[in-house]
């Protein structure tokens, strides 16, 4: 009698446990063993307490593994053809592009793949959406062979903005002598036809810098002055560091003193200004530059990031040009001199202290002299 009661209770708990678990049975109906996520059972169908706990853990682990597996990109194997790998990379993107690259490299098939991908890009300019076109270009940039100049010219010559941007991206990622000639030809065409708007994009600036085209510096500068985008500033800094410092002062001067007294600036790109100020620290522009005093306006800006970098840029002129710095400051409005003295009160260095001493000697403002005296005490 006691055995019958135990058997009934075991059967009841087994049924309750079975209905409470997520079914992970395969479509064929074959049952899983414990390693597949199902709880282990004895021949009578009953489940022990320990087995129930282990089974629940296995179910959870199996579910987590299934979720991870669902997020994995296409996997290639020995039966995967070159065309299949390329098509999967185009359609899926992301990690699939990297796996296709590894497969092609492992099989040493870049010669054939290069031609196939190039043809896909040419067709894709017309028939692919933006994502798929970006995916096939990303795979093309992984090639160990030089980029096709004719493909670059076709991409930037298309009427599709995304294709033009990706064409310049190819030129940046795959520089070569042939690419330099093609870029120079395209930039010359844009100037002759008064069509600079089609080439003054950040991707062009990056491509010019990657190919070391110092001759294109003037056009890149034009891009900075018209758009203010960071890519132009970075390209200028690498193409001609000393010349860039002076040109950065021209860009910084686009912000008026009134604009710089606000917390946000509308006339300049803040990130580009940060790049310019940081560059000037290492490559000081001549203080004789017509806009050199704008460094002081930035130093007293209400934007802390701009103010700090401008202070460091000014300090780069010390001690060699301390007297000239003091003369420049003394000619500025009184409120600027007072603001500068106040801004260095809590973080003045020995070189700044000497600068304040020079300013005190030549400033025509009594208020400035008194403020300097108070700071130097």
pLDDT in tens, 168-186: 999 999 999 999 999 999 9
Token pair for 217: 């510096």
Q: Does 377 or 32 have the greater pLDDT score?
A: 377
Model pLDDT, residue 33 = 39
| Backbone conformation region of residue 42, classed left if phi is above 0, alpha if psi is from -120 to 50, else beta | beta
Model pLDDT, residue 60 = 53
Model pLDDT, residue 96 = 95
Instruction: Find, among 259, 169, 187, 256, the residue nearest to 223 by Cα.
Output: 187
Q: Which of 17-26, 318-327, 333-342, 363-372 has the lowest mean pLDDT?
A: 17-26
Q: Does 55 or 137 have the greater pLDDT score?
A: 137
Is it the case that residue 132 has pLDDT exceeding 70? yes
Instruction: Average the pLDDT over 331-343 and give the result.
Output: 95
SS3 22: coil
**DSSP secondary structure code for residue 266 in this structure:** S
**Which of the four pLDDT bands, split at 50, 70 and 90, describes residue 135?**
very high
Residue whose tokens read 């991707």: 203
Q: Which of 66-80, 120-134, 298-312 has the lowest mean pLDDT?
A: 66-80
> Does residue 140 contact residue 107 with C-beta atoms inside 8 Å?
no
CB hemisphere CA count around 361 (13 angstroms) = 12
Is it the case that residue 23 has pLDDT exceeding 60? no
Instruction: Find, among 242, 318, 323, the residue nearest to 285 by Cα.
Output: 242
Is it the case that residue 46 has pLDDT exceeding 50? no
The structural domains of the chain, with segments of one domain joined by +, span: 2-71
Instruction: Find, among 249, 318, 243, the residue nearest to 277 by Cα.
Output: 249
Model pLDDT, residue 72 = 53
Instruction: Find, among 160, 219, 207, 217, the residue nearest to 179 by Cα.
Output: 207
**Which of the four pLDDT bands, split at 50, 70 and 90, describes residue 61?**
very low
Q: Whole-angstrom Cα distance, residue 46 to residue 7?
A: 8
Instruction: Average the pLDDT over 1-17 and give the result.
Output: 42
Task: Tally helices (H) and strands (E) across the chain.
Answer: 21, 0
Q: Which of 63-77, 85-99, 249-263 has the lowest mean pLDDT?
A: 63-77
Cis peptide, bond prior to residue 319, ω within 30 of zero = yes
Global pTM reads 0.77
Q: Distance from CA of residue 106 to its chain's centroid? A: 30
For every residue of 91-124, DSSP letters joined together read HH-THHHHHHHHHHHHHT-HHHHHHHHHHHHHHH
Instruction: Average the pLDDT over 336-349 and give the result.
Output: 88
Residue whose tokens read 């087995």: 51
**DSSP secondary structure code for residue 293 in this structure:** T
Model pLDDT, residue 74 = 53
Q: Does 11 or 28 have the greater pLDDT score?
A: 11
Is it the case that residue 58 has pLDDT exceeding 80? no
Instruction: Average the pLDDT over 38-65 and give the result.
Output: 43
Model pLDDT, residue 347 = 75
**DSSP secondary structure code for residue 40 in this structure:** P
Token pair for 348: 């003045």
Is it the case that residue 25 has pLDDT exceeding 50? no
Instruction: Average the pLDDT over 28-41 and give the result.
Output: 38
How many other C-beta atoms can be found within 10 angstroms of the C-beta atom of residue 54?
15
Q: Which of 67-76, 227-236, 274-283, 323-332 has the lowest mean pLDDT?
A: 67-76
Mean pLDDT of the chain: 84
Model pLDDT, residue 42 = 42
Q: Percent of the chain beyond pLDDT 70?
A: 80
What does the longest C-alpha to C-alpha distance in the chain come to?
Answer: 113
Token pair for 28: 């064929």
Q: Whole-angstrom Cα distance, residue 149 to residue 176?
A: 9
Token pair for 360: 């005190």
> Does residue 266 contact residue 227 with C-beta atoms inside 8 Å?
no
Is it the case that residue 145 has pLDDT exceeding 70? yes
Instruction: Average the pLDDT over 5-30 and give the result.
Output: 39
Instruction: Average the pLDDT over 360-364 and give the result.
Output: 93
């Amino acid at each position: 009698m006691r055995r019958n009661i135990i058997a009934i209770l075991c059967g009841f708990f087994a049924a309750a446990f079975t209905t409470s678990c997520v079914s992970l049975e395969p479509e064929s109906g074959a049952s899983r063993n414990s390693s597949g996520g199902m709880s282990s059972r004895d021949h009578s169908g009953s489940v022990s307490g320990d087995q129930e706990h282990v089974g629940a853990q296995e179910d959870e682990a199996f579910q987590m593994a299934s979720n991870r597996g669902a997020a994995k990109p296409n996997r290639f194997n020995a039966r995967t053809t070159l065309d299949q790998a390329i098509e999967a990379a185009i359609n899926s993107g992301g990690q699939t592009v990297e796996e296709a690259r590894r497969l092609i490299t492992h099989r040493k098939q870049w010669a054939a793949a290069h031609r196939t991908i190039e043809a896909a890009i040419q067709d894709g300019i017309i028939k692919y959406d933006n994502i798929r076109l970006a995916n096939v270009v990303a795979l093309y940039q992984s090639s160990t062979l030089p980029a096709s100049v004719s493909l670059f010219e076709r991409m930037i010559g298309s009427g599709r903005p995304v294709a033009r941007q990706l064409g310049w991206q190819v030129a940046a990622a795959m520089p070569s002598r042939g690419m330099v000639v093609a870029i120079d030809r395209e930039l010359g065409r844009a100037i002759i036809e008064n069509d600079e708007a089609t080439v003054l994009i950040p991707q062009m600036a990056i491509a010019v810098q990657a190919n070391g085209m110092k001759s294109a510096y003037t056009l890149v500068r034009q891009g900075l002055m018209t758009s203010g985008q960071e890519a132009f500033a970075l390209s200028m800094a690498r193409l001609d560091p000393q010349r860039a410092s002076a040109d950065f002062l021209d860009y910084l001067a686009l912000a008026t003193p009134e604009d710089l007294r606000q917390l946000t600036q509308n006339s300049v790109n803040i990130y580009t200004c940060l790049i310019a100020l940081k560059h000037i620290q290492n490559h000081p522009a001549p203080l004789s530059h017509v806009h050199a005093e704008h460094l002081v306006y930035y130093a007293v800006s209400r934007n802390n990031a701009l103010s700090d970098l401008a202070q460091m840029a000014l300090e780069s002129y010390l001690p060699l040009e301390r007297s000239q710095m003091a003369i420049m400051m003394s000619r500025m409005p009184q409120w600027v001199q007072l603001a500068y003295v106040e801004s260095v009160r809590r973080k003045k260095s020995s070189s700044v202290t000497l600068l304040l001493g020079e300013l005190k000697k030549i400033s025509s403002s009594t208020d400035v002299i008194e403020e300097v005296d108070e700071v130097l005490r």
